[in-house]
Structure 1
Amino acid sequence: MVNSKSRKTGIVILIAVILVLSVVVISAADGVTPGSEQDPIVTQSYVEQKSEQIKYYIDSLIAKANGDNAIQNQEIAKLKAELELKNQEIAKLAEDIKNVSAGGSGRFEVVEMQNNQILIAGEGAEIIPRSGKFSAIYGANGGLSDITSAKDLKDAEAVINNHMLIASRGDGRGVKAQADKSFLIIKGTYTIK
């Protein structure tokens, strides 16, 4: 009987070991949720879920890029408007420079006058008679200033060559040529009659 008892005990132990191993294997298999990261098999629902997440991410990036483009387009339009204003300012300044240059630049200009021609100086004009004969013309508020002689010239007074004359106002003061081929240099605005 001992043999049969030990045989029965061995069979019971063997069955117990098989049962314990079966429980361990079954519980390990139940621990993996289908579609989870531990599941080696990917299901269609998992793929669709990830596909929707990727699509949402791409759509959000596109929307952000479009929003950035709208902001950039607004900035570009603003900069274009500012550029147009600056171009208008530049054009106005160029016109002002042209007008100043036409009316008298920062340089002296040689002027040839014939007998009895009159040069009316603009405000601030500088005149230096070089050759020939000239007489002063009185303006509404006074005459030319001969700064070389430190005096004001009277109407019809003879002007000395190589003296610097300044017209402090543009009120009709100037010089009249008293000989053919009289030359002077002038800086500033003037008109010849």
Structure 2
Amino acid sequence: MKLNRITLPAVVVVTVALVLALWGFTAFAGDADPGGSGDPLVTQSYVDQYVQWKVADLKAGQVLKGKAGTELLVRRGQAVVVDSSGNGIPDVTAGVDIAANDKVALNHLLIIPREDGRGIKAIDFAVVMYRGGASIQ
């Protein structure tokens, strides 16, 4: 009989502890789906700014200047490098730096290292894909 008096309260205590633990996990875990709008892994503005490629149609003479870290790809047309710093723009596809006024090869990935006015200038109509901050003048 003594065994039943000890066993029943122990079972009740363990059951209550489990219920409280499960309630605590669900209460503090959040009600939003991971990656959903209530619990985003990244913000939409971050995706728009740094992840998605944008397309720019440049007319002859227009200059696309990138911010630090901006990636560029000339898809069609002709463009040359604009660089007042004298350091060039890294062409990571070819593994070289492209100096000012040198022609940019089509479909080569360029990365703007600093926000110091570097970019590309369209010689004729050019289609450029870019990711990151940029301005067209």
TM interval, shorter chain, is 0.5 to 0.7
1:44-77 Cα shifts (integer Å, max 9, x gaps): xxxxxxxxxxxxxxxxxxxxxxxxxxxxxxxxxx
Q: What is the CA-CA distance between 1:169 and the residue it aligns to?
A: 0.8
Percent identity among equivalent residues?
Answer: 26
Determine whether 1:146 maps to 2:118: no
Distance 1:159 1:176 in 2: 10
Which residue does the alignment assign to 1:156? 101
Which residue does the alignment assign to 1:175? 120
**Higher strand content, 1 or 2:** 2
Structure with larger RCO (C-alpha < 8 A, sep 6+): 2
- TM-score when normalising by structure 2: 0.64
- TM-score when normalising by structure 1: 0.46
- Three-state SS of the structure 2 residue aligned to 1:140 is coil
Distance 2:60 2:132 in 1: 22
- Three-state SS of the structure 2 residue aligned to 1:105 is helix
Which residue does the alignment assign to 1:115? 60
Determine whether 1:184 maps to 2:128: yes
* Structure-2 change in CA distance of 1:97 and 1:171 (3 Å): farther
* Structure-2 change in CA distance of 1:191 and 1:101 (3 Å): farther
Determine whether 1:130 maps to 2:75: yes
- Three-state SS of the structure 2 residue aligned to 1:159 is coil
- Tell me, which stretches of 5 or more residues in structure 1 are unaligned? 1-95
Equivalent residue runs for 1:1-193 within 5 Å: 98=45, 100=46, 104-140=49-85, 142-180=87-125, 182-193=126-137
The one-letter code of the counterpart of 2:52 is R
Paired residue total = 95
